[in-house]
Structures are given as structure tokens and as C-alpha cells.
Structure 1
């Protein structure tokens, strides 16, 4: 049986990292980004009165100041996938060229 995963969205507000769990309507804060996941886990466990080890937390940093981290990360991921696909196509074309030249 797979564990349920709760999404924690994190934004920077002044000196705090605000950690939101939309699925349960919860909000908590952390001093350091490295604390966001454990704070989210505690919030879900306390709010739902369930053991903290019976679910997973997926942390996504949405925004830091004016930088839309999630959006830019998605753009980079898409660009990387495109580059990987193009690399494979170039490799195949190169192999085909070598085969054609050898025959």
C-alpha cells in the first residue's frame, strides 16, 4: 500500500519560510528552508491526528522574493528534457550517417 503524499508549498516572507499544506488548509512557518519538510509533517500529523510516518511530504518552493522558483524550475526541467531528446536524435542521425558512409 502506498502512502498518501501531501504537497507543501513554501514561500519566503521576510525572515520566515511559510509552509502551506493546501489539502488540509494548514499553514506553519520555519526559520530555515531545511526545516520546511519536518514542519509540514508535524502540521499534517497534528491536524489530522495521525502518525507522522504514515504519509509523505512533497515540498515545493514556489517563490522567494520576486523570483517564481517553481515556475522557473519547471521551465528548466522542460528545457533539459528537450535537450536530452535532441541529443538522442543527433546520436541516431550520426549513427545513420556513419552507416551510410560505410556502405
Structure 2
């Protein structure tokens, strides 16, 4: 199966111009979510196949350094998710240690900045 590449560039600040490279044909899309649909429909029409059977890669040409900024956003989001996982693990460990030291769930919750119900969950191993 041939993989088609649809390269989308912004055209006059209103539409996305979508070029299916392998076929040398163009179509337009009003917004980013529509790019894939329009490219699939163009290919399907030209080749007389079902749009769902088209193997397609989308290459959106972004202005300036936007692509690098979006990559940085993704990287920072991954770091944030990892930091949240680590923080949750440390909160469980701290809650367990405080419970072993004899503190009440209300005190543990206050120290961790969570409700006593959440402190109970953290110390129960769930």
C-alpha cells in the first residue's frame, strides 16, 4: 500500500492549502482538523477508493519557530507528568511513614495538603 503525504501550508490567513505530493493535486481545508479529511477525500476521489483505506501522513508547515516551540511544549508536558508521578510516590511514602509514626489521618492530611480521606487512601496502599 502506498503512503501518501499531505503537506499543509497556511494560505492567505484563511485556509490551509493541502498538497498531496505523490499525486501532485491540491485541496483546501478551513482548519487543522479538516486537513486529514480533505486529503483523504481528494486521494479517494482521484483513485476511486474508500477514504478509510488511504495510508496518509500529514506534514503541517508551521510559521517561524512554532514547530520547535510545540516540541518544547510536548517535552515539558512529559516532564510535568513524570514530576507528578514522582510527587505522588513521595506523598504515599511520606503518608505511610507518618502513619507508622502514629499520626492521625487528619494530621497526615493537613501536613500533605490533602483531605483526611485522601490521607487514608495514601496510607492504605490503594
TM range (shorter): 0.5 to 0.7
For the Cα contact (< 8 Å) 1:28–1:39, is it kept in 2? no
Instruction: State the shift of 1:56 in Å.
Output: 5.4
Which has the larger share of helix?
2
**Change beyond 3 A, Cα 1:93–1:52:** same
For the Cα contact (< 8 Å) 1:16–1:32, is it kept in 2? yes
Question: Between Structure 1 and Structure 2, whose CA radius of gyration is higher?
Answer: 2
Measure the CA separation in 2 of the matches of 1:74 and 1:7.
Answer: 21
After superposition, the C-alpha distances for 1:64-98 in whole angstroms (9 at most, x for unaligned) are: x4463x44333222211210110010110111112
Consecutive unaligned residues of structure 1, counting only runs of 5 or more, are none
1:45 alignment partner in structure 2: 44
Q: Which has the higher contact order (CA 8 A, sep 6+)?
A: 1
Consecutive unaligned residues of structure 2, counting only runs of 5 or more, are 101-126
How high is the TM-score relative to the length of structure 2? 0.56
For the Cα contact (< 8 Å) 2:6–2:20, is it kept in 1? yes
Measure the CA separation in 2 of the matches of 1:4 and 1:85.
Answer: 38
Measure the CA separation in 2 of the matches of 1:72 and 1:10.
Answer: 18
SS at match of 1:53: helix
Which has the larger share of strand?
1
